[in-house]
Amino acid sequence: MGYKREEGGVQPGINWWRFTIRIPGVHVKVTWPEVIQGGLIATATGGAVAPLMMAYFNVPFEVAWTVMFIQIFWVWSHTFLFGEPYGPGWITPALPLILVFLGGFTPGAEAVKAMTALTICVSAIFLFFGITKLGGKFFQWIPVELRAGIIMGSAIAAFNSEFDRIQTMPYTLSVVWGVVFLLMFSVWFSKIRAQSKFFNRIASMALLVGFLVAALVGPLSGEVAFNIQSGISLPQFGPFLQAVSPFYVGWPDWAMYMKALPLAVMIYIVVFGDLLIADTLLKDADRIRTDEKIIIDPIRSHFATAFRNLGHLLSGGVFIPLHGPVWTGVTVFIVERYKEGRQTMDSIYSGTVNWYWLAFPLMFLTPVVTFMMPILPVALSITLILTGFACAYISMRMVDTPTGRGYAVFIGLLTATFGPGYGMVVGIGLFFLLLVQRRQMIAMPYDMNIKK
């Protein structure tokens, strides 16, 4: 490795503005456990976006797969280009609400324009709060019950979509859901995880295990058929950009921006909550690992998230899940490995920077592509059903009164059924009618300044 970190110092890199470039093998050690697991999981989960591109933007699979090359670069850029210490990913909790939003538009050009409007609105909000440093105050102003209602809306929308899908693959999805729920949420299995490194490692790769189970159960049930081919798969950038880029399809009108704005605000609220969780994880690790100083910079996180979404839009067209600063599951896994000591993981960036890059060569391999093709609906289903389950219990945990929980479920139903704009307006009005005297805020204001 070209650069070595001083004891208690910041991991070296190439500084530019608020950001830091760190290249694997140069600024951080290549850690093969993270490279292999990350490459496989990033390829498998990332492929779940292809069916969405096919459904909402009317592109065939061979063209839709091109999004993988673009999304992996912009996901990875969060760590190697912008220097963020989190494991980045999609804004997954918002994905069900985004699908509800896109469902109000005709698939194809109109849906592309709507997604363009949403991407620009979300990016503008992140830039605004990054520049003004008002993100912490805004998050405080949003009642806990309304935040819970927004998250519950994601849960209900996710469940609605997957309960329809299970009719097409009843055996495969039922078994896969059961396995993944067991590994991630089972009370009794969590005790086994705590006592066994083997089962803990298996559970940490629950998504990958789910895909492997689908590859076994699907053919046995006759619901999945594989046609593995050899060769190299080249991305079809030309047809892809013609289908999903605003430079080809056209830009949205002001009405679309206004429709997208309420959802963009909801998405910001969700992401800010994820950042709070990720910061807590890193601070806990920082107390244990005194050999490295991790700089947590919320302003950098805001700018990096905005630049990634705008960069993807301008270079590769619209991207349905949107880019988020934190993939919570990956961040938890990396932080736990990091806490084991420098002999396991030299730097927090050894985990985050190495997690994604193996996906690049894997995506060119036709055997990988043809293996993934028939189980991509399963990958999408796992993503959404886990999102729904996690959002549901997080929402219920956020409020502790019967009225607050009833409010959260009601606003969630409105949001999932009638759309984010309706849910936001009714949610604010109903809050003042029912809960204004019981308003709950986060215990401490979130400091938007750099933390070292």
404 in the same domain as 359 = yes
Structure tokens at 102: 């896109």
| 7 within domain boundaries | no
| 247 within domain boundaries | yes
pLDDT at 445 over 60: no
Q: What is the CA radius of gyration of the chain?
A: 21
Domain boundary among 188, 222, 256: 222
111 in the same domain as 36 = yes
| 429 within domain boundaries | yes
65 in the same domain as 27 = yes
Per-residue model confidence (pLDDT) at position 403: 92
Per-residue model confidence (pLDDT) at position 440: 45
| 9 within domain boundaries | no
365 in the same domain as 264 = yes
Domain that holds residue 202: 169-222
403 in the same domain as 321 = yes
209 in the same domain as 342 = no
**Distance (Å, whole) CA 418 – CA 100:** 8
Cβ contacts of 52 within 8 Å, gap of 6 or more? 99, 320, 321, 380
58 in the same domain as 206 = no
Number of domains in the chain: 2
218 in the same domain as 145 = no
| 252 within domain boundaries | yes
In this prediction, residues 121-147 reach a mean pLDDT of 91
Answer with the residue of higher pLDDT: 334 or 111: 111
Q: Furthest-apart CA pair in the chain: how many Å? A: 65
| 112 within domain boundaries | yes
| 451 within domain boundaries | no
pLDDT at 394 over 90: no
Domain boundary among 152, 187, 222: 222
140 in the same domain as 174 = no
* Chain position carrying tokens 């456990």: 33
| 231 within domain boundaries | no
pLDDT tens for each residue of 246-263: 999 999 999 999 999 999
201 in the same domain as 344 = no
Q: Which residues pair with 46 in a beta bridge?
A: none
189 in the same domain as 101 = no
Per-residue model confidence (pLDDT) at position 216: 94
Q: What is the dihedral of CA 281, 285, 286, 292, to 10 degrees?
A: -120
28 in the same domain as 56 = yes
pLDDT at 194 over 90: no
Taking each helix axis as running N to C, give the angle between helix 298-316 and helix 237-244, from 0 to 180 degrees, rounded to the nearest 10.
110
Confidence of residue 413 (pLDDT cuts 50, 70, 90): very high
Structural contact between residues 292 and 8, judged by C-beta atoms closer than 8 angstroms: yes
Domain boundary among 189, 222, 255: 222
